[in-house]
A and B are shown apart, each in its own frame.
Chain A
Amino acid sequence: MKAVAMPTVSRVAVCGGTHGNELAGIYLVREMLKKRADGTEPVSVVTVMSNPRAAQLCVRYVETDLNRCFTRAALSAPVSETSPYEMIRSQELNALLGAQRSVDLLCDLHNTTANTGLCLITYSDRDWICLHICKHLQACTNTKMASTPVRYVHFDIPLNEAYSLDSVGKHGFAMEIGPQPHGVVRSVIFSAMQEGVQLMMDWICQFNSGTLFEGGWVDVYTMVKNIDYPRDSETHMISAAVHPDLQDRDFCLLHPGDPMFLCFSGETLRYRGKEALYPFFINEGAYYEKGVALSLARKRRVQIPSVRSETLR
């Protein structure tokens, strides 16, 4: 593949607290906000607490999930004082980080109760900036990152239907790290997130100063479908838990016939799909209300070109 020249990544946004109970990002953003910028930084970084009211209350959201409020429709809807808080906030964040003054890269920090390790989650499987950042995190043999697997997760949704905060930047991803209960900060998770953000910034600085990053291959997990819990037909309450053989096995291939759910009645329900797929977000606490017990992805190797910034110093 030919080397690709790309614009510098001059403005970066790091956002935490998009969900107010995902604490690693909240504490990391607080720490970053304490350090005053002195103008000598090679990259301009905007650090934002996305949902301060939810963070204050330590809840995912106050009225509606902020990370679903970034659709074209939501961002252009008329809002008033009586609109849901998160609808007002998404428009504020878009004005700050998107629209005319769109940041070059937006990194949105999240935690999950699922055993996902570190995932960069994005809408594109050919955004070379995001893919190179992933490759850089994976390559680092630092002791902290070495114990946290790093993966690239792709939601194949057209950009005009994107709904999450990371879609307001020219490039963007959610940096999702688990497992961590909501409302808890675990030091290994915090350290992994701090390390991940630092490595991302290191890559951006090197890229902006003209370094050529060699191409290669990155495994991309593309979301195929969600699976809900079995539910009682009348009460709609769940009638099974994720099977112990599947629990915590994010990104371990799930084959047709493998156990998926253990019913309260004792019965095992098995995966009925024809195709072996990679499960992830297995048993995420916030997804019960969204009807998702786990998501399933296809994995493929994506070739990425060498890249270099087009504006050299």
Chain B
Amino acid sequence: MSSRTNISCLQEAKRVAIFGGTHGNEMSGITLVNMWIQNSAEIERNGLVVKPFISNPRAVEKCTRYIDTDLNRAFTPENLSAPDVEGLPYEVQRAKEINRMFGPKGSSDAYDAIFDLHNTTSNMGSTLILESSTDLFNLQMVHYIKKAMVPHTCSVLLNEHPQLKYSTTRSVAKHPIGLEVGPQPQGVLRSNVFESMRTILKHALDFIELFNSGVEFPPCTVDVFRVQERMDYPRDTNGNITAMVHPHLQDCDWEPLNRGDPMFLTFDGRTVLYEGANTVYPTFINEAAYYEKQQAFMTTCREILAAYAIRKACK
């Protein structure tokens, strides 16, 4: 006998955006968005409007991550409320513009969902990134996408960490979702990575269309990896790295790292071991853009999140 309680009635998601080029050298999203700006047939769905959008066009033109500052860290309350004066970093101006177009962040006028497309040099495969463990719409969507992609796997990274969480471009929307697919070098388009990202988006838009049409999604659970800690490279007094990710850890994203396992290999051949007490699941291992952010990899712990059933709210 099924219970009719504990179904969350949520607003329809009528306004959806797909952002590519938040980092101007992450080619899968840039290519997909440019393609869909030319011809949007593939992303059209009944009952919703889907807007493809290049978030950092100047960085895309130069095929560089950012011009003045990382756009995907720029959506802080301070930046979004900064007055329109000359001399603002390009990405701060852009953040304000994006907040006007797709936000304002936190208001009822904001876009319902934004998918922000990223690539990584890390061997993360297909990854969906969530910022909240209680966003039922997102949890149900992620569950739907993972099922639809079987036998391919899709990992889910949850960054709800008070210090390590950052103000993303997608955070102006009510339901922000990050897509991170790797490994792919910056400035390079790999066919398999491109097609994986394309497929994830197809399933995501299918979900929203189904939801908006009134389909009820039963309660579900989602296996996630919750961000714990940032691990930096060993560095010398000048701040230069003195070791590389150890060959046994390289490309082992999502695999358990235990106390005593090799972590780094110094340039002169010495192994540095992981000393943490608990088993962790590293990710973003050897991401090019994170050398300057003092991060060799992130540690995560495994968790199972539960989501109530959801359906569209009746008017």
Contact = CB atoms under 8 A, between A and B. Distances in A.
A256 B267 CA distance: 44
Contacts of B57: none
Interface of A: 27, 30-31, 58-59, 113, 179, 181-188, 190, 237-238, 241-244, 247, 262, 264, 283-286, 288-289
Given A31-B268, A183-B288, A187-B265, A288 B187 contact: yes
Given A186-B244, A187-B244, A244 B192 contact: yes
A70 to B, nearest CB: 24
B237 interface: no
Contacts of B309: none
Interface of B: 31, 34-35, 63-64, 121, 183-192, 194, 240-241, 244-247, 250, 265, 267-268, 286-289, 291-292
Contacts of B194: 241, 264
Given A31-B267, A181-B121, A182-B288, A187 B247 contact: yes
Which label, helix, strand, loop or mixed, suits the secondary structure of the A interface?
A: loop
A223 B185 CA distance: 25
A182 B26 CA distance: 12
Contact of B190 (A183, A186, A188, A241): A241
B288 A184 contact: yes
Contact of B186 (A182, A186, A237, A238): A182
A115 B300 CA distance: 31
A184 B191 contact: no
Nearest to B189: A241
The 3 closest A-B pairs by CB, nearest first: A181-B185, A183-B288, A285-B187
A186 B291 CA distance: 13
A244 B186 CA distance: 18
A234 to B, nearest CB: 10
9 contacts: A27-B267, A58-B291, A181-B288, A182-B186, A184-B286, A184-B287, A187-B247, A241-B194, A264-B194
B188 A113 contact: yes
Contacts of B267: 27, 31, 190
